[in-house]
Chain A
Amino acid sequence: MKEKDGYIDCPQQQVILYVEKEDGKYEPIQTGSYITKNFLDDYELKRRHLEESLKKKVQSGEVSPIYYYMVLEDLTLSELSARAGMRKGKVKKHLESAHFNAIPQEILKLYADVFNITVPDMLKLLMTTTDDSVNTNTGS
């Protein structure tokens, strides 16, 4: 790749790209992310749709808030159970709405830590609201 083709104006996400300079030497340049520059709006749209559809499933009792965050954060059942330190069978039950209310606070906290949210963030999902935006990165 020639240096002149490597520059992308995207201050939100900088990357290092190795390019061919005019003198033929290959060197790194600091530039912007192509996909963030051009398609961030598309990512956000898909993310919003996914949040909305998962939220509907939570509120209709189809799945639990733990399922919501597991899908949103792209985790598999195996990965979530290993991260939360629980057996897969137990986590599988916790993904169902019917079992969610029986989960003790300390177990919810284990999940919340993995998802980097608070337990109230998780519980808020159960409430029907007109505000569909869900912040998954509020910290705990």
Chain B
Amino acid sequence: MSTIPYRHKMAAHCESGAVTSLLNNAGLDITEPLVFGISSGIFFGYFHKMKSFAFPTFIVRNEPGSIRNNLSKRLGIKFHTEKFHTPDEGMDRLDELLEKNIPVAVQVDFFYMDYLPEWERVHINVHFIVVVGKAGSKYIVSDSYFPNLVELESASLRKARFAGGSMSPKGFLFYPEYIPKEIDYKKAILKGTKKACFNMLRIPLPFIGIKGIRLFAKKVVEWPAFARDTEHLSHEIMKINILLEDQGTGGAGFRFMYATFLQQASAILDKPEWSGLSKEMMEIGDGWREISLFASRIGKNRELGPDRLKELGSMLMERAEVEERFFRRLKNSI
């Protein structure tokens, strides 16, 4: 089997990147920020205690799978999706699709992507890559987080697609099977933005949206109680930087990419006020970036006493305030 001709491009995020890349390769000219914005990707959730996480953590994007689902609903694009009962079935089906020259996105546990450096890889079952070919025992993979097409051992891909645990992929794969000739971007942008505002402002759960940022701000001072020792606490505090900057966000916990979406949307909708909102979101992102840098600095210097953590909490609280004002204005502008 050979490699399907495929234009690989790095992207900010794995799911919006995989979806954008599949659509671009299928002939649809759409950007990653538009995919992200239309699918209401911007989000916040804080989890102080959860069975599947060893330490408190947070998320800055909507539920895995939502990017594809929301985009599909709002643009009328149909994705073919499949899950499998056994690894054999799942791997055979992938081979069959590659034989037909169909590039296929698969959901995997990030930990088994052994072309990435060891320090980047963690067990998380919601990474998305596009498989574009097979050579011997290796698959050819387009991963948004890697600069080039890269090889992955068949055994690693099999493990990654059929890892158990929270949000187990069960071999999940997808590819676009229908793209409408005419797409109403305006309606989709407005709908996606409206839903994003709802997610940030109105979900009645104390750990989601703006309320989630506030909870994070209050609870971060309690993090030392979860840590084995100072080095563990330092590692977890520095992970704030990784979650906001490195784990596929385009910088500042997706805020820079969302600003880009608003700028592109402003032109499509001919809404000059969104250009101002886009600028404001970029500045909000700068504030998140400061939090990332502060967290990595205090972690490295082991300055992890109550005062520093309170300072971190205040910075987060300030983000909650500015984002609440921002999303209210955005909602009123729709």
Interface residues of A (CB under 8 A from B): 1, 6, 12-20, 25-28, 30, 33-36, 38-40, 42-44, 46-47, 49-50, 73-76, 78-80, 82-85, 113-114, 116, 136-137, 139-140
Interface residues of chain A: helix, strand, loop or mixed (majority): mixed
B91 at the interface (CB under 8 A from A): no
- CB contacts (< 8 Å) of B286 on chain A: these are 1
From B117, B238, B252, A35 is in contact (CB under 8 Å) with: B238
Assess the B245–A33 pair: CB atoms within 8 A: yes
* Interchain residue pairs A-B with the least CB separation, the first 3: A18-B256, A26-B260, A78-B51
Number of interface residues of B (CB under 8 A): 60
CA–CA, A21 and B198, complex, Å: 31
Task: Give min CB distance, A46 to chain B, whole Å.
Answer: 5
- CB contacts (< 8 Å) of B332 on chain A: these are none
Assess the B159–A116 pair: CB atoms within 8 A: yes
From B52, B123, B168, A73 is in contact (CB under 8 Å) with: B123
- CB contacts (< 8 Å) of A25 on chain B: these are 263
B296 at the interface (CB under 8 A from A): yes
- CB contacts (< 8 Å) of A75 on chain B: these are 54, 123
Interface residues of chain B: helix, strand, loop or mixed (majority): helix
Assess the B117–A13 pair: CB atoms within 8 A: yes
Assess the A34–B293 pair: CB atoms within 8 A: yes
CA–CA, A17 and B231, complex, Å: 29
User: Which chain B residues (126-159) contact chain A, with CB distance < 8 Å?
Assistant: 144-147, 153, 155-156, 159
Contacts A18-B250, A34-B296 aside, 7 further interface pairs with beta carbons under 8 A come to A19-B251, A33-B246, A34-B292, A34-B293, A78-B51, A79-B166, A114-B163
Interface residues of B (CB under 8 A from A): 10-12, 32-33, 51-54, 111-112, 114, 117-123, 144-147, 153, 155-156, 159, 163-166, 168, 231-232, 234-235, 238, 241-242, 245-246, 248, 250-252, 256-257, 259-260, 263, 278, 282, 285-286, 289, 292-293, 296, 299-300
From A35, A78, A83, A140, B242 is in contact (CB under 8 Å) with: A35
- CB contacts (< 8 Å) of B245 on chain A: these are 15, 33-35
- CB contacts (< 8 Å) of B159 on chain A: these are 113, 116
From A16, A36, A116, B119 is in contact (CB under 8 Å) with: A36
A-B contacts, 30 listed (Cβ < 8 Å): A15-B12, A15-B246, A15-B251, A18-B12, A18-B33, A18-B251, A18-B257, A26-B259, A30-B10, A35-B241, A35-B246, A36-B117, A39-B238, A39-B299, A40-B119, A42-B234, A42-B238, A43-B119, A43-B238, A46-B232, A47-B119, A50-B232, A73-B111, A73-B123, A74-B122, A79-B165, A82-B165, A114-B163, A116-B159, A139-B114
